[in-house]
Amino acid sequence: MTQDRVGFEARLRQIGAERYHDKHPFHHLLHSGGCTLEQVRAWVINRYYYQSRIPMKDAAFLSRCEDADLRRIWRSRIEDHDGGVEEGGGIRRWLKLAEGVGLDPDYVSSARGVLPATRFAVDAYIRFVRDQPLLPAMASSLTELFAPAIHENRIAGLLKHYAFANDQTIAYFQHRLTEAPKDVAFGLNWVLDHAVTGADQDAAAAALTFKTEVLWAQLDALECAYVTPGRIPPGGWVPGEGML
């Protein structure tokens, strides 16, 4: 059944309301000050892998995109994350957070110690965007609809509860507060404009659902390895490794 524009947008937002990873217990632990410094470090190491693959995901999207105007707009996502040849960009800002929690940024950027389950989830996202039609490929980015709220909670929670939190270490999240809404306003409009059949809308909703699963699986892996039961799988970061 094809929904009208308003109904379809509500359907997409409902997916976030039910499944976005702001509802994951690990985030509650992190934002409420309940994480040990080791658990924060594990999160920083694993989340880096996700952040660092986002430009590859967006390049995979560009590589599928025959419309030069769409490529020109989409390219700013790569610029936001990678930054320039010399400076700037979300990846470098994330490595400032890594340093702030005492990790060697070279260790973190090597992606050694990333949980295998994190790699599987993130790599599945890149493959999804490379292989799926353009509409679901773009719809999978719409978790950004739900990102500003979690970033605001995170900034407040980190600043309140953790000594490592300051303007420099949380700069990544501050930038995302302005970058994500710009990106998602475009992406949401494009998806609403192009998902004109019921089958299109189902595919876009499934893509957004898939993406919420990619995010959730990373936190489940983190919790299992470092919180409860706290059983680090072979290949996973062991506290003490990769320190400054």
Q: Which residue has the tokens 């994350």?
A: 81
For 36, 159, 236, the CA distances from 243, given in Å and listed in that order, are: 16, 22, 15
Shortest distance, position 19 Cβ to a copy of itself, whole Å: 26
Shortest distance, position 213 Cβ to a copy of itself, whole Å: 21
Q: Is 73 in the site for a copy of itself (CB under 8 A)?
A: yes
Using DSSP's 3-state secondary structure scheme, residue 243 falls into strand
Shortest distance, position 216 Cβ to a copy of itself, whole Å: 24
Size of the site for a copy of itself (CB under 8 A): 30
For 12, 199, 201, 202, the CA distances from 3, given in Å and listed in that order, are: 11, 11, 8, 10
Candidate segments 31-39, 48-56, 201-209, 230-238, binder of a copy of itself by CB under 8 A? 48-56
Cβ atoms of residues 101 and 48 within 8 Å? no
Q: Which is nearer to a copy of itself, 94 or 173 (CB)?
A: 94
Q: Which residue has the tokens 């919790």?
A: 223
- Here's the x/- map for a copy of itself, 96-135, by CB under 8 A: it reads as -------------x-x--------------x---x-----
For 27, 38, 87, 97, 100, the CA distances from 93, given in Å and listed in that order, are: 20, 20, 10, 7, 11
Q: Which parts of this chain interact with a copy of itself (CB under 8 A)?
A: 52, 55-57, 59-66, 68-69, 71-73, 75, 78-79, 82-85, 89, 91, 109, 111, 126, 130
